[in-house]
A = this chain, B = another copy of it.
Amino acid sequence: MFALMSLLVVGSVAFDSVKTPFGQAKEVLGGSATYFSVAASFFTKVSLVAVVGEDFPEKDIQFLKSRKIDTAGLERAKGETFRWKGEYGFQLNEAKTLDTRLNVFQNFWPKLPEAYKKLDIVFLGNIDPDLQREVLQQVTKPKLVALDTMNFWISGKKDSLIKTLGLVDILIINDGEARQLSGEHNLVQAAQKIQSMGPKILIIKRGEYGALLFSRKSVFHAPAYPLEKVFDPTGAGDSFAGGFMGYLAKTRKFDDANFRKAIIMGSVLASFNVEDFSLNRFKRLKNSEITARFKAFKNLTHFENL
């Protein structure tokens, strides 16, 4: 029965226009919930809650469906789909946003289809913390809830965000956000402060430098995979979260050892995602490649005892 359970995600579906030093892509499928869902779909069924406009093509819906992603919660609203335009320099670590058009996403009010409400593993993507709670309240018996957020909500809706933080098990943010949220520069101190706000587990993403996992018991460090070619970093963090949550939804073991494996799985998925524009690398990604890169991460980090 567990194997049939699905992973619930709420977030954004968008069209991205991206320029990197290695090429460009125009109006390609993107959005945090899209990257998350497709990454997670290598491990589990996914139930997606998001909104698209009238312009969203049937072929993209079909692609999501082909990835075992339930689109019953993908609302189609009057207007245009969310659009983002950005550019990366050679450093590839931070996008310069050229244009953001929220469009239908602006008035997004997530409603869970009846069948979604019994799902117990939940990823609340980066949306208004009020809406994140709104989604969570519709879930009957949440067992593992993870949250993403961003500087915009930390500075603009901190009280609401802190309320939401009290309801979740896992927070996944980047180092700048962790510092902003805690008011501490040192990440160990930042983690302690954030954990005292609610989440037992804090995952701090550090882009090309990997990620740190703070649990109540220990700290775990996962490197990013040293790739010879990084083509487009868009969606790396969402792919990371998708691989992480997808692996947890598949294995349903919520202990320290399995969180660590899940973090590596997240890093594996992120490492593939950046090898091409949009979701192109995922479209041709094989399970055997995932397993091989997991082993490569083992080799990348392994050393013998004294």
Taking a contact as CB atoms closer than 8 A, the residue among B90, B188, B260, B305 that contacts A185 in the complex is B90
- A221–B223 CB distance below 8 A: yes
- B223–A299 CB distance below 8 A: no
Rounded to whole Å, the gap between the CB of A90 and the closest CB of chain B is: 5
Closest chain B residue to A291, Cβ basis: B306
Say yes or no: A298-B305 contact (C-beta < 8 A), given A188-B228, A209-B206, A219-B226.
yes
- A306–B186 CB distance below 8 A: no
Rounded to whole Å, the gap between the CB of A17 and the closest CB of chain B is: 23
Taking a contact as CB atoms closer than 8 A, the residue among B185, B220, B300 that contacts A300 in the complex is B220
Closest chain B residue to A224, Cβ basis: B221
Give the number of copies in the complex: 2
Contact with B along A157-171 (1 / 0, CB 8 A): 000000000000000
- A229 CA to B192 CA in the complex, in Å? 13
- Chain A contact residue count (CB 8 A cutoff): 39
- A221–B300 CB distance below 8 A: yes
Closest chain B residue to A301, Cβ basis: B301
- A264 CA to B303 CA in the complex, in Å? 8
Closest chain B residue to A207, Cβ basis: B209
Rounded to whole Å, the gap between the CB of A259 and the closest CB of chain B is: 9
Taking a contact as CB atoms closer than 8 A, the residue among B206, B221, B299, B305 that contacts A301 in the complex is B221
- B301–A228 CB distance below 8 A: no
> Is A72 interfacial (CB-CB < 8 Å)?
no
> Is A56 interfacial (CB-CB < 8 Å)?
no
**Residues of A bordering B, CB below 8 Å:** 90-91, 185-189, 206, 209-210, 212, 218-223, 226-230, 257, 260-261, 263-264, 291, 294-295, 298-306
**A–B pairs, 17, beta carbons within 8 Å:** A90-B185, A91-B185, A186-B228, A188-B228, A210-B223, A220-B301, A220-B302, A222-B303, A223-B223, A257-B303, A260-B303, A261-B303, A261-B304, A294-B306, A295-B305, A298-B303, A298-B305
